[in-house]
A and B are shown apart, each in its own frame.
Chain A
C-alpha cells in the first residue's frame, strides 16, 4: 500500500497516515480535497467499492469527523479517509454521484448527527426516526438518559433502592 499512500500525499496532501493492518490504512484529508481524492481513488486507483461512511462527534473540539472507507476489490486493500468538519452548521459536499448507496448514508448522517449534504437526494427525509423533534441523537450532547426518563414511562410496579439509603435503613436506622 506504500505507493498509493505516497501518491495520496503528493496529490492530495493527506496527513496522519496510520497503516493499521497490511491491507488497511487511515489518512486525514482536508475538507475541500476529500471528494476529489475519493473520486480519483475510485476512477483511477481501483478503489471501486464503498464500505461505509460514518461520523464521530468531537464535541470538545467543536468538530465532526467523517470517515469514508473504500475498498479495492482487486488487491483487497482498504483506505479510510478522515475528514474534519466544523460542528456548527455542519455541512459536507455530497458524494451521492459516486455510489448509489451514498445517499442512504448521508440521509442517516443528517438524521443522527445533523450533518447536511446539500443536493443529496432525499437527505431531509426521515431515515428511521419518524417525528423526531429533539437534537440529533448521535450528537454527544444528546442526553439519552434524560430522553428515556421523559419519553418512556416505567412499567407499573417498578421500584428501586439506593444502596447507601437501603443500608442505613437496615443497619443503623436511628443514627
Chain B
C-alpha cells in the first residue's frame, strides 16, 4: 500500500468548509426526464426468456432465472437484474427480441438490504411497474439485428408451372452469411424441433463459413439434411425469437445451404466414418423412409450390420414417392441416402415382408427388427361415387408420377383435401394439365376453413400462384357420375369441425350447396397404415392403442421385445419426427441387444 492510498480517503476532507454544490429540496418530487433510463420493467407475459438481454449486457448484470415451466417457444426463464452492476445503458432494452423489457424513469430507491437490489422485473412487484415514462426502444429507428430475412429466390410462377424443376434456388454465400448473422443464438428453437437439432450451433457454423463443422452438427441428430433442408415442416421457425419483431430465421434454408455446399465425396472424412467398427450383430429394417434410414444410419455408426427391406424399386419412401420433384429433387434424396448406404447398410429393393420373407423369419435371421412402414394407404371419403375408377387417391398418383408411370390427367380436376399432400397433388396435376392442355383447371376443396388449413401456408399460396383454385370450408357429399365417369363433386358448407369438447364433429349448413365440376376426382384426406405384412398370429402379440396404433415405449419398442416401430406409423406425420423416432429407436435397439430391459410399451 502506498502513502497515496492511505491519504486518498482524506482528500475529501479538504472540502469540509465549502458550500455544498447540491441543492437540498425535501419538499418537491424530482421525477426523471421523460425518457430517463431508470429501473427495469418487464412484461413477463410477452417475454419468452430468450436470454438475449443477458448476453448483450457488458456488465454481467443479468441472470436468467426460472419463472414457470418451459413450453415450446418460451424457456420459462426471466431476466433478473443485479443493480450492483447495471450501468443503465439500456442495451438489454434495445436488443430485447420481444420488446417486453423497458426502463421506467424512476431512479430513487432506498433500502438497507443490498440483496434487495437484485430482483426480477415484472415478477417481483415494484412501485414503478406501471410507470409509463422512461426508456423504450424507439420503434422503426434502429435494430441490433436485421429483422427482415434474406429473401430466397423462387422461380416465377410462369417459369415453374409447366415443369418439375426445383423452384427454390438456395442461398448464395453472401446471402447465407447475412441470414445466419441474424441469429441471436438463444436456442429456443431446439426444444421445438422434434429431433432437437443443434440449430444455433449450425447457424453459427454458417456464419463462420465452417461447412465441415456445420455438417458434423447436422449429422449428430439428422442424417437427411439435404432432404430436411428442403421440405422440413420447420416448426422451429414458428418459435424463433427473431420472429417476434420481424421474420424468423430461415433455419431450413440455412440447413440446406450447409448440405448443398459440402460435396458427397468428403462426407466420410468430415464425419469420421471411414472406418466403422463391426459388432457382428444384425438388424433388419422394414421400409427406407426417414425413420428406417435414420435408424440404419445411427445403428451403422454403432457397428451394427443393417439390412433394409424396401418394397419399391428405389429408397426414400414417401420422400421419394410422395413429395413432388419440384420441391425435393431426386439428386438431393440420393445424396443423403447414398451416404447412409456407404456406411455398409445393405438394402434389398422390391422386397415385401409377408410375401418375400416373413417377420418371423426376420426375427430368426436378425437380432432385432425395426419397422418404419409409414402411412401410405389412401383414405376414402366413402361418399357415393367414390368407388368410381376415375376417383383416385393422391398417394397413388404421386407414387406413379415418381415411378414414371402414365396417369390420367383430364382438363377439369377436383381434389378433396387441405393438407400438404393435397397441395402436392394439386400442384403436380396443375403442371401436367399445363403441359397437356396449356392451361390449369383444378379446384382443391377441404373441410377446414382457410385459416385452419393443415397445409403449410406457402404451399397454399404457391398453389394459387400456379393457377389452382383453393376453395376451403366445404364438406363433400357425393360424386356425380354420368356415363360411367365423374362430372363433379357436390359439397355443402362446413362451418366448424370440432364441437365444444374438441371432438371431431363437423357442423354443416345443408342450405349452402355448391357443385364443383370435374371429370376426375382425387381424394387426399389422410393416409392409413398398411399392416398387411404382419401376420394375424403376430398381431395377437402386439399391443394396440385406442386409435388402432401399435403401442411403443420411449424407445419405440413394441410389446414384442425384438420388434421396434417408428415414423409416421407411430408419430407425425412428417419427415423430422421419423428421423427423431429412428434415432431413438436405434439407441433402444442397441440397449435391447446389449440386454438392457426397458419399461413395457404403453
Does chain A bind chain B?
Answer: yes
B196 proximity list for chain A (CB < 8 A): 168, 172, 175
A155 touches B84 (CB 8 A): yes
**Closest Cβ–Cβ distance, residue B557 to chain A (whole Å):** 14
> In A114-138, which residues have CB < 8 Å from any B CB?
none
Residue from the list B77, B85, B584 in contact with A148, Cβ < 8 A: B85
Q: What does the 1/0 interface line of B37-80 toward A look like (CB < 8 Å)?
A: 00000000000011100100011101111100110000111000
Task: Write out the residue numbers on chain B whose beta carbons fall within 8 Å of the beta carbon of A164.
Answer: 75, 186-188, 190-191, 200
Contact across chains for B554 and A174 when beta carbons are under 8 A apart: yes
Q: Is A74 an interface residue when CB atoms closer than 8 A count as contact?
A: no
Closest chain-A Cβ to B216's Cβ sits at a distance in Å of: 18
Chain B residues 538-593 with CB under 8 Å of chain A are 554, 584
A108 to B105, CA, bound (A): 29
Q: B4's closest neighbor in chain A, by CB?
A: A130
Give residues of chain B (78-96) contacting chain A, Cβ–Cβ below 8 Å: 82, 84-85
Residues on the A chain within 8 Å of B62, using CB: 160
**At the interface, yes or no: B118 with Cβ under 8 Å from chain A?**
yes
A145-B58, A171-B70 known; A162+B51 contact, CB < 8 A: yes
Contact between chains at B60 and A154 (CB < 8 Å): yes
B50 contacts across to A, CB distance below 8 A: 163
Q: Once bound together, how far apart are the Cα atoms of A174 and B75, in whole Å? A: 18
Interface 1/0 per residue, B195-211 and A, CB below 8 Å: 01000100000000000
| CB < 8 Å neighbour of A170 from B64, B65, B69 | B69
CB pair A144–B58 under 8 Å, yes or no, is: yes
Interface pair B66/A168, CB less than 8 Å apart: no
B116 CB to closest chain A CB (Å) equals 12
The reply to whether B63 and A166 contact each other, CB–CB distance below 8 Å, is no
CB-CB nearest in chain B for A143: B58
Interface string of A147-175 (1 = CB under 8 A from B): 01100101100111111111110111011
Chain A residue at minimum C-beta to C-beta distance from B191: A167
Identify the interface centre among A162, A167, A170, A174: most chain B CB within 10 Å of its CB.
Answer: A167
In the assembly, what is the distance between CA of A163 and CA of B79, in Å? Answer: 11
Residues of B within 8 A of A174 (CB): 554
Which of B60, B77, B186, B200 sits near A161, CB closer than 8 Å? Answer: B77
Pair A160/B191 contact, Cβ less than 8 Å: no
Count of interface residues, chain A, beta-carbon cutoff 8 Å:
23
Q: Do residues A163 and B77 form an inter-chain contact, with CB atoms below 8 A? A: yes
Whether B70 and A166, one on each chain, are in contact in the complex, defined by CB atoms closer than 8 angstroms, is: yes
From residue A17, how far is it (CB to closest CB) to chain B in Å?
25
Is there contact, CB below 8 Å, between B60 and A163? no
Determine whether the beta carbon of B69 is less than 8 Å from that of A158.
no
One of A144, A154, A161, A175 near B64 (C-beta < 8 A): A161
Q: How far is the CA of A149 from the CA of B61 in the complex (A)?
A: 11
In the bound complex, CA of A154 to CA of B49 (Å): 21
A163 touches B186 (CB 8 A): yes
The one of B60, B186, B187 that contacts A145, using a Cβ cutoff of 8 Å? B60
Chain A residues whose C-beta falls within 8 Å of the C-beta of B75 in the assembled complex: 161, 163-164, 166-167
Indicate whether A148 sits within 8 Å of B60 (C-beta atoms), given known contacts A163-B188, A164-B190. Answer: yes
| Chain A residues positioned under 8 Å from B59 (CB to CB) | 144, 148
| Chain A 44-68 interface mask (CB, 8 Å, partner B; 1/0) | 0000000000000000000000000
A9 to chain B, nearest CB (A): 32
Query: Is the Cβ of A172 less than 8 Å from the Cβ of B191?
Result: yes
Given contacts A155-B118, A163-B50, contact A149 B60 (CB under 8 A): yes
Q: Which residues of B contact A168 (CB under 8 A)?
A: 190-191, 196
Among B69, B118, B187, contact of A163 (Cβ-Cβ < 8 Å) = B187
Among the listed B65, B76, B190, B554, which residue makes an inter-chain contact with A160, where contact means beta carbons less than 8 Å apart? B65
Query: Is B58's CB under 8 angstroms from A167's CB?
Result: no
Q: Would you list which residues of chain B between 101 and 136 have a CB under 8 Å from chain A?
A: 118
Assess whether A166 is in contact with B554, with CB atoms less than 8 Å apart. Answer: no
Are B85 and A162 in contact, CB atoms less than 8 angstroms apart? no
Residues of B within 8 A of A171 (CB): 70, 191
Cα A161 to Cα B60 with chains together (Å) = 13
Tell me the minimal C-beta distance from A166 to chain B in angstroms.
6
Q: Which residues of B contact A155 (CB under 8 A)?
A: 82, 84, 118
Contacts of A162 in B (CB 8 A): 51, 64, 187
Q: Known contacts A148-B85, A155-B82, A161-B66; decide if A166 and B77 are in contact (CB<8 Å).
A: yes
* Interface contact A163-B84, CB-CB below 8 Å: no
- By a CB distance below 8 angstroms, the chain A residues around B188 are 163-164, 167
**A155-B118, A168-B191 known; A163 and B85 CB under 8 Å?**
no
- Residues in A with CB closer than 8 Å to B69 are 170
Q: Which of A145, A149, A163, A175 is close to B49, meaning CB atoms less than 8 Å apart?
A: A163
Sample of 11 more A-B contacts, CB < 8 Å, known A158-B63, A163-B187: A144-B59, A155-B82, A160-B54, A160-B63, A163-B51, A164-B187, A164-B188, A164-B200, A167-B191, A171-B191, A174-B554
Residues in chain B within 8 A of chain A (CB atoms): 49-51, 54, 58-60, 62-66, 69-70, 75-77, 82, 84-85, 118, 186-188, 190-191, 196, 200, 554, 584
Seen from chain A, the residues whose Cβ lies within 8 Å of a Cβ on chain B are 144-145, 148-149, 152, 154-155, 158-168, 170-172, 174-175
18 pairs of residues in contact across A and B, judged by CB atoms under 8 Å: A144-B59, A148-B85, A158-B118, A160-B65, A161-B64, A163-B49, A163-B50, A163-B51, A163-B186, A164-B190, A164-B191, A166-B66, A166-B70, A166-B75, A168-B190, A170-B76, A172-B196, A175-B196
